[in-house]
């Protein structure tokens, strides 16, 4: 799984992790990239994205991290960790299914 693959995984999420509003989803980088960085490069900061709707994403940037977390009672780093773990687990499950098919269901 590449960093950009994870960003696309987050972009395809159905709901905002803050207000649970349906799409469109903006992947928000908890570990900020900074102005002028190439977002198409494989950067480690891409692993810290969370799914936010456009309104929540704009509010986050307006309030800043601390005020946004306090207002919504949300820990954005905890959310980023959750979504990264979820993505890794989904990849693991797909790999296990492929491995099971390859081995005809035999446990090695």
Instruction: DSSP for 45-83, please give it.
Output: GGGGEEEEEHHHHHHHHHH-HHHHHHHHT--HHHHHHHH
In 3D, which of 44, 71, 46 has the Cα closest to residue 60? 71
Who has greater pLDDT, 18 or 34?
Answer: 18
- Overall size of the chain counted in residues: 108
- pLDDT one-digit tens code per residue, 26-64: 889 887 765 555 666 666 677 889 999 999 999 999 999
- Residue spans of the domains in the chain: they are 3-102
Centre a 10 Å sphere on the Cβ of residue 98 and count the other Cβ atoms it contains.
10
What pLDDT shows up at residue 75?
96
- pLDDT one-digit tens code per residue, 57-85: 999 999 999 999 999 999 999 999 999 99
In 3D, which of 37, 10, 35, 32 has the Cα closest to residue 23? 10
Predicted TM-score (pTM) above 0.85: no
What pLDDT shows up at residue 4?
83
pLDDT band at 91 (very low <50, low <70, confident <90, very high): confident
In 3D, which of 66, 64, 53 has the Cα closest to residue 18? 53
Q: Which helix (H) or strand (E) holds 7?
A: helix 3-11
């Amino acid at each position: 799984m590449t960093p950009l693959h994870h960003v696309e995984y987050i972009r395809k999420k159905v709901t905002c992790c803050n207000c649970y509003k349906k799409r469109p989803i903006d992947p928000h980088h908890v570990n900020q990239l900074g102005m002028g960085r190439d977002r198409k490069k494989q950067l480690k900061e891409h692993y810290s994205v969370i799914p936010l709707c456009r309104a929540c994403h704009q509010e986050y940037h307006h309030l800043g991290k601390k005020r946004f977390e306090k207002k919504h009672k949300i820990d954005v780093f905890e959310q980023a960790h959750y979504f990264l773990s979820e993505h890794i687990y989904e990849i693991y499950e797909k790999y296990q299914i492929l491995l099971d098919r390859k081995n005809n269901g035999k446990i090695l």
